Structure formats: structure tokens, C-alpha cells
Amino acid sequence: MADEQPAAPTDSDAQLRKESAKAAAAEAQLAQIKKAADKAARLQATQGVGATAPGKPGAKPAAVATTAAGSSSSSGGVSPAKVAQLNAIVDEGRAMAKQVMRSGNSQNAQLARNYDSYLKTAKDSMRGVSSDKEADKLIKQASQTRAYVQFLVKQSGR
């Protein structure tokens, strides 16, 4: 029996290190996506400034939306299928994250909150994506994050 006690903390320590590494990777991806979202917002704001008429503050949001829609269709843009794919991945991942947050494990709940935040940012970042290649990167990152959340769901179910 004495042999079993040291083995359990070692396994949980390894799992904690593994989860910490995953959380750090998710945080790095989150920072990368936030940076891309900021860049997209700046680009949209720049495009909207030239398209608005001076002295008409009500025209600016419509001009920005029109400009953004026009630029995505003229440069090829992101296919609606890619947007739908990312939305499905994010929605499923966020639903599972919420399930983990309701579980009794506070450590997993905190990880799930981080993953949920990351998935929300990934979905928001899709608005700034201008090509299918960039969309594929976001989809891959969201899928990986969803896989982390699935792991947490399995852990919570034990």
C-alpha cells in the first residue's frame, strides 16, 4: 500500500504539468489571435475612414460594413463553408467547456474558462480573416482547443 501513494502524486503531477503546458500553449494561441483581431480591426477602421462622408457620423458604421463586405468578395474572401465549419467547432467546444465549468473540479473549470475564452476569440477573429488559408489556420487552432476541452470533459466524467 505504501508503494501506491507515491505513484498517485507522480501521475497527477505529470497530468498537471501536461495541462499547464496545454494551457500555456492555448494562452499563446489566444495572444496570437488577439493580435490578428486587433490588426483586422485597425484595417477595417482604416478602410472605413476613407469611405465615410465628413460630418455624417451615422454613415460611418454602414460604410465600414459595406467596405468590409466589398473587400472580402473582391479578394476572394473566406468561403461560407469555412465560416460555418469554424462556427460549428467553436459552438461545440464552448458547450463542452461550459459543461466542464459546471463540474466539481475547480482546476479543470479554470482551464475550461480559458479554452472558452480562446474559442470565443477565435470566432471573433474569423471576421478579420481574408483568405481560406488564414481560415484554415483558425479552424485548426479551434479544433485543437476543442480536443483539449474534450479531454477535460472525459476527465470530469470519471
pLDDT tens digits for 5-54?
444 456 666 666 776 676 667 667 776 767 776 776 676 667 654 444 44
The phi and psi torsions of 130 (rounded to 5 degrees) equal -115, 0
Read off the pLDDT of residues 46-94 as tens digits, 9 standing for 90 and up. Answer: 765 444 444 434 433 333 333 344 443 434 578 899 999 999 999 999 9
| Nearest one of 85, 115, 103, 82 to 153, comparing CA atoms | 103
Range with the lowest mean pLDDT among 27-31, 119-123, 150-154? 27-31
The rounded distance, in Å, linking the Cα atoms of 147 and 128 is 24
Find the distance separating the first CA and the last CA of the chain, reported in whole Å.
23
Exposed (0-12), middle (13-18) or buried (19+): which is 89, by Cβ within 10 Å?
buried
Give the residue extent of every domain in the chain.
Answer: 4-157
37 is written with which cell numbers?
483581431
